[in-house]
Amino acid sequence: MQETKELLSDDRQGEPVMMDQQSDLQTGKKLYVESYGCQMNFSDSEIVASIMSKAGYETTRIAREADVVLLNTCAIRDNAEQRVRNRLSQFQIEKKRNPKMVVGILGCMAERLKAQLLEEEKLVDLVAGPDAYRDLPNLVTEVGTGQKAVNVLLSRDETYAEITPVRLDSNGVSAFISITRGCDNMCSFCVVPFTRGRERSRDPKSIVAEAHDLFDRGYREVTLLGQNVDSYRWNISKKGEVIEPKDETVNFAQLMDKVALVNPLLRVRFSTSHPKDMLDDVLEVMAKHKNICEYIHLPVQSGNSDVLSKMNRGYTREWYLNRIDAIRKHMPACGISTDIISGFCGETEEQHQDTLTLMNEVKYDFAYMFYYSERPKTLAARKYEDDVPVEEKKRRLSAVIHLQNAHSLASNKKAIGKTHDVLIEGDSKRSSEMQCGRNTQNVMCVFPKLAYKKGDYVTVLAKDCTSATLIGEIAE
C-alpha cells in the first residue's frame, strides 16, 4: 500500500478525529485513535472506532482527554516504527498525570514487537493485531484488572464485513471501503503477509451496501482498498475455479462495475493494484463508467527485471510496460502513479539507471519514493545482504525524486488551459477564500471560492500549476 500522512493527531499534521455516529452506550469514556502509514490503517481505525463506540466509547480529538489511547501502527520502514516509539514515550509522560489511561498499539507493529513494547520497554498496556479488533473492549477490561492484554492472532476469514465504520475523516465527502484483507504475494522486502496474514475477500453485497449507505449520507467518493485489489475474488479460487457454484462469483472488475452502478454521482477510486494481476477487464470497466476515476496507482518498485525477480514481484520490466501501454490504450488521459525503492539488496548502478529510464518512458504523474529499509522476518532479510551503503541509497533516491518532480511538473503543465471536473473537498489549507478538490486523475486543484459547497461537482479551468497542484478558477 502507498503511504499516507499521519491522521487524527491533536498535535501534528492531519485532520482531527471526527465522529459521525453516536455511541450505543453512554459510559462517559473517551477513545483517541492515531493512525500511521497506509490507507488500510486509516480504514482499520474507522472499524476500531465503530467497535469501541458499541462498547460505549466516544471518540475525541484531544489525546489528554482520553481514557483509551490507541496507535494504529505501520511497520513498512524502520523510520515509521521509530516515530511510533517516540509517540508512545510521550504518552507515558501523559500516563503519569492520568495513571488510569490505557495506551495500546494496533496494526502491523503489534505482532512483531509485542514482547518488547509490553515487557521490555513497558510502553504499552495493550497490543491487538489487525484481526483482533473485535476483542478490543475485552482487552481494555483486562488491562483494568492490572494485566497486560494481548491478542495478535491472525484469521483466515475475518473481514469485518458487517461492521459499519465510524468515519473519522472530517470532510464528509470521501471515504474508504475495505474490500480485501491480508496479502499472499510474499514480496521479499515486505512484512505485510506476516503482520496482516493471508489474503481474503469481503462479501460483495456488503461492499455495495456500504457504498449505498455512504452516498445516502452525503459522501460522493469512495476508494476501494486492499493490499492487492486486482486479486479480489468472491467464491473464485486463485486458479479461476468456482468454489461455491450455488452462490455469486465476483472478480475485481465485476465488483467495480457493481459499485459504479450505485449512483453516477458517486466517484469510485481504488488502491492498490499489482502489475502481475491487473488485466484488461479492469481497464474495460474503468473506461465504461465515467464515475470510475481515470487514475491508477501501479507500484513498479524497480525498473530492472533482475531486481524485480529478487523482490519476488512476479513480473518483468517488459510486462510492466505492457500494462502501462494497456492503460493508455483504454484511457489515454489516465493518471498513473507508482512506488519506487532505491538501493535494494545488490542493486548496481546500472540497475538503478534502469529505474530512471523506465521513469522516463512512463512519465508518472506522481510517485512514492523510498530507499530500501530491511525489515525483520522478510525473505530479503533472510536471504540477501543489505549491501548498498546508506549514503548510496540516499544518492540514488535523490536522483529518483529529482526526476519525478520534473515529470510531475511537466504533467501538470499539460493540464493548463484545460477544464477539469472537480469534486470539492472543502476549503484550501492555505486560505479560507479558496476551495480545493481533485480531478479524475487525482490531481489536487485549488480555485477561488464561489457559491459552491463541499460535495459539489464543478468545472475548473486550470491556469497555473506547481508540481503537485493545479491552480485555476471555476468555469461558470
Instruction: Please give the average pLDDT of every successive group of 10 residues along the chain, which has 476 residues.
Output: 32 34 63 88 92 94 93 80 88 90 90 79 90 95 90 90 83 93 93 88 96 96 95 83 76 98 98 95 98 98 98 98 98 98 98 98 97 92 97 98 98 98 95 96 97 96 97 93
Give pLDDT, residue 170: 63
* Domain boundaries defined on the chain: 29-151, 174-415, 419-474
Q: Can you tell me the distance from the alpha carbon of 291 to that of 260, in angstroms, rounded to the nearest whole number?
A: 7
Give pLDDT, residue 112: 77
Give pLDDT, residue 458: 98
Give pLDDT, residue 9: 29
Cβ contacts of 187 within 8 Å, gap of 6 or more: 301, 311, 312, 313
Q: Can you tell me the distance from the alpha carbon of 229 to that of 225, in angstroms, rounded to the nearest whole number?
A: 7
| Reported pTM | 0.87
Count Cβ atoms below 10 Å from residue 241 Cβ, excluding itself. 10
3-state secondary structure of 99: coil
- CATH 3.40.50.12160 describes domain 29-151: yes
Task: Answer yes or no: same fold for 29-151 and 174-415.
Answer: no
CATH (residue range 174-415): 3.80.30.20
Count Cβ atoms below 10 Å from residue 276 Cβ, excluding itself. 18
Nearest to 112 by CA among 33, 42, 195, 39: 195
Alpha-carbon torsion (316, 321, 325, 331), positive or negative: positive
8 Å CB contact between 388 and 345: yes
- CATH 3.65.10.10 describes domain 419-474: no
Give pLDDT, residue 13: 28
8 Å CB contact between 93 and 101: no
Give pLDDT, residue 12: 28
Output the nine-digit C-alpha cell for 331: 484511457
Backbone angles phi, psi at 96, to 5 degrees: -65, -30
